[in-house]
Structure 1
């Protein structure tokens, strides 16, 4: 017995102008497309349920191709600093958090961004000590490649003037060599290592809160990387089973595995592939560099606004090759975080030397490119994992970091797609807001809400159809599921994002006025307005 969804506009995403008005579903898969009368006749006697969509617009279920689901949940349950617009407001929120916390608590904050402050202030440990001298403080920057800590946290981590910078990280120091409390990339891990492990209940709560929020914005799935940060692979992986049970909660969770968590994954008897119909293990995650905001993205030439640095390479070429070769022995693809062109060059060199027998590797972010790098990418089996919302968040300050020449080939989504490269779309939540409509809007307009200019790098704007493809067929292609996900077609999963507007015909700024009607996974309504 099956379900008839009708009286809607179902965009198949096979072609920009292709749509049907009804879909018939059995056992979670689409078995027929057409109009209501046609499907009523074709499946007479089999239709058990009917959903009248009252003229709504139906898209293949939106999937975020790169986020950190548990991190997103933490942002929702911890102190969120991502919307703070001044140093004074940030200080006030931290003081309030200190007063409301228990004596033995760490004080955590998520998402501060000095580029939102008029003075671009980065707090010094002494200023944080004035707020909290006795309770350790750990404040994650928006990019998650830098953190601010107070003296108590430095003391617990035994970071002093004599402490060497760790490989792939920087302990920012004053003129006397004293740590300022600003830690870049792996230097922040020195403090993370002394933060008490969170409980399984905490991880479960963060995951549940996050998944519920993803349903709220129309996401049916996400490709996430969480399995290294919350007490290890098993402790974290077990929570996915608890939350995404496949009965009450259906969500397509594709889990990337940090390269340092692979040994525990193998110890527990798991490998790449489907574990349940809703949980699957994916590529080996590797960080090649940091982020542009903290000047830790690894560039081939120095930063324009700070010629003393070219950023931070997390791995040498040799150590990255060693990690990739270990993955290749088990025929596993890799997913490499590459923001700077120096990191991208290194990653491509390693992938060229270590070809994948079958499947596709993934390059995440790919923000700074050039023609030579594009030509090299075209010769490899790759999916590029883009975050359109970065344009709205990083401009105009990123132009100071990269300079006029490099910015022309940065955040170059249109160039990458027109070059024939396959691209997927994500948010990198909690770094950016998780709502896919914000990402689609940013891809189409390349500006912030309310700005009146033509867009940053206007020639790189995507069409609405190309932008929606990033979150549908692109995300499916990224995990080799393009034959069963990402389209509304016979034999494909019945995952739908149902909206009250046609994203392909409305004005660009109306995208953000669009409302979610339903989020449907496996023919099951997981959220309804």
Structure 2
């Protein structure tokens, strides 16, 4: 018995193969018909679009769902602009909570503060009334922690990245993060995951790629999230970042052994492995893997029929990863390496040589356009870390797209917010004009690119027989060639701070099922 059919009519469809289409019929989870309203077939239900735009739904190719949900329902520090404001936020949040509670917060970014002085562990103790405090920096690669939490994790004092001030990086951060996240009970985790996925659906996102692993989450958190996939919520495609852990990734239900498998850290914490010293600190960051480990991981992935991947931000780290790809190709053959569509997350500091390596080995670049919007350009964090010239060369998605590198866009939420149209505009309005993409190409990277990254090549389009996975939008500034207008008419207003209103999601449909409808919670 077939499910009831639904006709969506009276809209504007992003459908290059049928540019005049104004209606589509959904039957059994697929698009059964496309065309004009006058020719529409009968259906069990009719949805009048009232001129709204219909596009393929978005895919966010890099998220951390539990952390996102905890931020959405907890202590969000992204707007604090001083040490005092941060302490006041902690104090207000901690008030009334049990004395044994752990205060979890996220999103502070000292590069946006006039005075970048950070509060110390003792100050955090005072603000939280003696409670344990864990506050991750925007990059999630370092954190401020209280004296009480340091005391509960004495093993952190003996590993790289420890600082008695309470600002922890590298291995020390990982130790304390595990302890802090372990304080979150199962019910709270599930609630946070549901909050994150429901929020994604409200933004026209029908699928997310969860990047988990031993240093990011635990196995219960990961498998619990996968169990929510598609159950009235966006689908979840999981990556488990454990070195040479392809067999375990498969057992956990992951689609790949990669994601946040760290080859280095992050620019915000000066732990990304770059080839030239940071201009505002000593050294070149830290590389966590060598080429032999990368090779062995890719060979292990091949043995288990799994996609692999790595987190690599700095050019030195990416160079190491590509050396490992070359070594793996010597064992497996280049064609087999390319066919796997292995991924690199972030790929922020690139060169022509490194971009050529992505092309040679068919590497998917999972990138976050909001990184440039928030931290690129003159006077921002990238310039303070790298100098202006190097900062303007970062996140070169336009150059990569131009030579055929496969792109999949995402947010790395909660590092940056879930904001798909904002990310599309950020890619089109890169601080460096040489790295800008067309809105159409950026939209494809945030929709079809995400599906292709998980080997679902026929998804992400409005086409006859394709899965009925789409979003319905109000477009305040209108539609141009099947896509919303995202940039101001005045060239002087265009750029990362463009004031043009973004589209608002009215409905999100996943394989024919409505997973979000405006006004219905």
The two structures have a TM-score, normalised by structure 1, of: 0.86
CA 1:470–1:239 in 2, change beyond 3 Å: closer, same or farther? closer
Q: How does 1:45-124 map to 2 (within 5 A)?
A: 47-124=43-120
The two structures have a TM-score, normalised by structure 2, of: 0.87
Find out whether 1:210 has 2:196 as its counterpart: yes
SS state of the match for residue 357, structure 2?
Answer: helix
Alignment correspondent of 1:413: 397
**Paired residues, number:** 487
1:492 to 453, 466, 476: 466
Cα pair 1:65 1:424 within 8 Å, conserved: yes
Cα pair 2:358 2:364 within 8 Å, conserved: no
Bigger drift between 372-381 and 501-510 goes to: 501-510
Find out whether 1:186 has 2:171 as its counterpart: yes
Alignment correspondent of 1:176: none
Instruction: Provide the rounded CA distance (Å) in 1 between the counterparts of 2:283 and 2:211.
Output: 29
Q: How does 1:364-403 map to 2 (within 5 A)?
A: 364-395=345-376, 396-403=380-387
Instruction: Provide the rounded CA distance (Å) in 2 between the counterparts of 1:367 and 1:404.
Output: 15
2:277 to 286, 291, 302: 302
1:228, distance to aligned residue in structure 2 (A): 4.2
Instruction: Provide the rounded CA distance (Å) in 1 between the counterparts of 2:215 and 2:315.
Output: 27
CA 1:506–1:347 in 2, change beyond 3 Å: closer, same or farther? closer
Cα pair 1:259 1:323 within 8 Å, conserved: no
Find out whether 1:424 has 2:408 as its counterpart: yes
Q: How does 1:433-444 map to 2 (within 5 A)?
A: 433-444=417-428
Alignment correspondent of 2:504: 515
SS state of the match for residue 287, structure 1?
Answer: coil
SS state of the match for residue 256, structure 1?
Answer: strand
Cα pair 1:198 1:230 within 8 Å, conserved: no
Cα pair 1:230 1:236 within 8 Å, conserved: no
Instruction: Provide the rounded CA distance (Å) in 1 between the counterparts of 2:484 and 2:130.
Output: 55
Cα pair 2:9 2:24 within 8 Å, conserved: yes
Instruction: Provide the rounded CA distance (Å) in 1 between the counterparts of 2:20 and 2:355.
Output: 34
- CA distances 1:21-64 after superposition (whole Å, capped 9, x unpaired): 11122111112221123332xxx5xx222111011001101111
- CA distances 1:339-379 after superposition (whole Å, capped 9, x unpaired): 11011101111122114453201111111011111111110
Instruction: Provide the rounded CA distance (Å) in 2 between the counterparts of 1:160 and 1:505.
Output: 50
Bigger drift between 297-306 and 422-431 goes to: 297-306
CA 1:105–1:262 in 2, change beyond 3 Å: closer, same or farther? farther
Instruction: Provide the rounded CA distance (Å) in 1 between the counterparts of 2:138 and 2:86.
Output: 13
CA 1:7–1:116 in 2, change beyond 3 Å: closer, same or farther? same
Cα pair 1:234 1:265 within 8 Å, conserved: no
CA 1:149–1:262 in 2, change beyond 3 Å: closer, same or farther? farther
Find out whether 1:146 has 2:124 as its counterpart: no
1:12 to 15, 23, 27: 15
Alignment correspondent of 2:491: none
CA 1:244–1:375 in 2, change beyond 3 Å: closer, same or farther? closer
1:289 to 264, 282, 287: 264
Instruction: Provide the rounded CA distance (Å) in 2 between the counterparts of 1:230 and 1:506.
Output: 34
Alignment correspondent of 1:28: 29
Find out whether 1:252 has 2:232 as its counterpart: no
In structure 1, stretches of 5+ residues that fail to align are: 173-178, 273-280, 447-455
1:171 to 152, 162, 172: 162
SS state of the match for residue 298, structure 1?
Answer: coil
SS state of the match for residue 7, structure 2?
Answer: strand
Instruction: Provide the rounded CA distance (Å) in 2 between the counterparts of 1:310 and 1:254.
Output: 33
RMSD over equivalenced CA pairs, Å = 2.3
2:307 to 327, 333, 343: 333
- CA distances 1:401-460 after superposition (whole Å, capped 9, x unpaired): 1124423421211111111111111111011010212212222223xxxxxxxxx21232
CA 1:207–1:458 in 2, change beyond 3 Å: closer, same or farther? same
1:235, distance to aligned residue in structure 2 (A): 5.2
SS state of the match for residue 40, structure 2?
Answer: helix
Q: How does 1:150-161 map to 2 (within 5 A)?
A: 150-159=146-155
Cα pair 2:362 2:405 within 8 Å, conserved: no
SS state of the match for residue 411, structure 1?
Answer: coil
